A and B are shown apart, each in its own frame.
Chain A
């Protein structure tokens, strides 16, 4: 304890050096911009800026890149709330209630709670990282292929059971996402699946393309319909800042989201998307008024946004404690560390305390910077909504398309996003939930690879899937969330 504090003070002495403060600020600023613009994403943004770290000290390099990472996670929520335009997969969850809040004129509070929730989650998860980091990392590493598969099954079943009015329609949406995920080269065998002879499809269906198409583009179709029918109302901004009541309402969601996000973020492969989806379903399950979710419930923004940011710290755990990059972003960070002459390993804490503790301290600093940077911007961002719809909607489409195009530099992705936008519009009209499609697409590939890896290990014996306690628990929970509500309903109707 005392030793940790001492080292933290040492870390601050590094992070508060003027040059490192400047790097942290630069990283946060660039990260926020990258986060606001759709399509580039944290990993892409960090990779773009890697040339900047040449010749810097290891601590400075890590501080700069971590700033970009954090900033991008922050910025991603802005367009999701204002325009229903998720810049990365994890922000999809934020659109569900954030955009509804914006439509009711409460974009300001939504943006505030996203920033404050991220701040609290970021700060607390750094503390978690310092004190319970190693045990959590060891827990996370018990997730082999079988446990990962169980986690995916659990995640998909919660989202299927919670989204929308009908279980079948939720299942259709989830399966559609999983089916889209099977497009592209099959990694274990190297053969093409569902590419229809089009080379560009070999890379698979990109999540950003799907998220922007299904959410942002379909939303424009819906708005256009309202314009044609004359029912579209100009959004009136009722308040810009967060009320104390809203904050207190969300505090529980923020804390739960932080804990959940931190643990899920540390599990290899699961990452932010799963963390924010889990947090959303958790909040909805334990809410007194679950029917408010999807209609502008502030907890539906606070929880997932916090989980998202806590997962960013959680994802650093396996890298810092064991030298293993568990996500794309930490893999970029791993590469950057190698470039500046630091070899990530289980001995990172002993060999390079300046890097580790400098990074930890810079996370505190970065979180404060991001809050200072983002809160004043809320007022500016909210004003975007007062642009007349006939101009705003084409603008949103044009910006979305830059994001989609920049994924693979391919016009084919634009066609795919347009088609998915139209599909999303039809799905909305007929009450099919959209969020499970994205989760299915994100998890599908990993889910299939996990189960195949597990069976490769066991030589085809499916018993391996149910061997560990973690897997058994997760499968049990998965069955429970689907069957539980149905049984409850039946029990209740018998009583009546």
Chain B
């Protein structure tokens, strides 16, 4: 449980430190008439739009989920029957696809910021395309392994491989739903300024899943 413990400890330390900082040097029992004049009295704690903070909190939940999988992986790995499976070279190619997908979405985010409808549309499309290609690539990698006789239940290393890659792909699939909704809106001529947030959130989510994938891939390669 080291991985999870370190992750949660870091996260809780940040949360606790931030919350405690709010409370040091305050005198909550004093009443004040000058509301609305000082920064302290605004109703917002963080200079972030609600949707973005919501996404960040969600990312913390997903990070906690994968940290737990990694913990379980490392704990199960130490038991005697673990026989590592060869990582298909295709995974390197897939990683490249995911990087391209992330770059394209970043490009889409920059284009929406500049209100360039056409380039935003293209970039968003390309990003989604590469993400789909990544998922196809992952399923091909699965097929290669199955054909080579690495079935999901024959060894815990195999089980974890399918479980972790599958779960990562499912999260990407969820992202593609959000991507699809944004794409439809963009194609049907929505005001691009109003789509800025959606595109940005997609881009953030994509980068996050890329980071998670790189960590998982590193774990798979090194064990």
Decide whether A and B assemble into one complex.
no
A residues at B contact (CB < 8 Å): none
B residues at A contact (CB < 8 Å): none
